[in-house]
Amino acid sequence: MKVVTTINELRDHIKSIKSNHKSIGFVATMGALHKGHLSLMERAKKENDVLVTSIFVNPLQFGPEEDYEVYPRSIEKDRELAESQKTDILFAPSVDEMYPRSMVNEVNITSGTDVLCGKSRPGHFNGVATVVLKLFQLVQPDYAYFGQKDAQQAAIIKNMVNDFNIPVHVVACETMREEDGLAISSRNIYLTDKERRQSAFLYESLQRAMHQVKEGIIDPLVLQEEIHSYLKKHTDAEIDYVQILSFPELKEINTIAGQIIIAGALQFTKARLIDNILLHVNEMEGGNKYVSHHDEI
């Protein structure tokens, strides 16, 4: 595994790979690697000739009151984990390398940022899209892999790729979970023992809503209230949001039909947790509905 910290060195490696007509699979991370990241790397390696993994804690996507300064960083452990997944190039630039001067231009996402995580994190997805665009320009991947846990992020990146004709296939993969259903996240280490026990109720509440859809409930407001009440009853966390939207458009809906996302976010003392379930709801003869659960976007 080659560890690369400068843009010029990365460009040299990418130029060589492209000249040999090898495909590149790319996994962008902020480090603190866990099983979710490793599953993305494993798939990227399996489906491409070369695996490039990046580790960069991007300051543009953190708000002034968020956890940029204390976001978990473990570069030596991350190197070992990246190498264990047969990463060919690990790109780990500094902030000064990625942003040598103040940005004159940034990506401005105009749709899908006023709901879910974007509602309480203004500017977050502009920061995400800006760094992802820079990384796509540098790595020039054929395929880029993201986790479904961050479904809003994956949808926004897919839309950016489509809007700007970026020659990258965005692949969103199944969320990796703990045994009790909690989505694996770098921020889970911030949970107290009590909060860790309560955290499993987030996914459970979404699953309950999914089953209610299968039973015929099609009013999103009713389901959102059910999820909200369930989380209030079983956790001490502040409920950031509970929303049911069309997907990938991320628009509010009056009735549950087509492809939708059921999503929620909880703010515990030091950890903010997000999760979602994607469903496809089809109308069948006789008014019955067929509901399928999508593990991947």
Which residues does the annotation place in the binding site for (R)-pantoate? 61, 153
Annotated catalytic residue within 13, 21, 37, 211? 37
Binding annotation for ATP = 30-37, 147-150, 184-187
Task: Name the amino acid, one letter, at 26.
Answer: F
Binding annotation = 30-37, 61, 147-150, 153, 184-187
Q: How far apart are CA 258 and CA 118, in angstroms?
A: 23
Binding annotation for beta-alanine = 61
Beta strands 238-246; 258-267: pairing state: antiparallel
Question: How far are the Cα atoms of 104, 160, 192, 224 from residue 236, in angstroms, in the given order?
Answer: 42, 37, 12, 18
| 37 belongs to the catalytic site | yes
Q: Which residues are catalytic?
A: 37
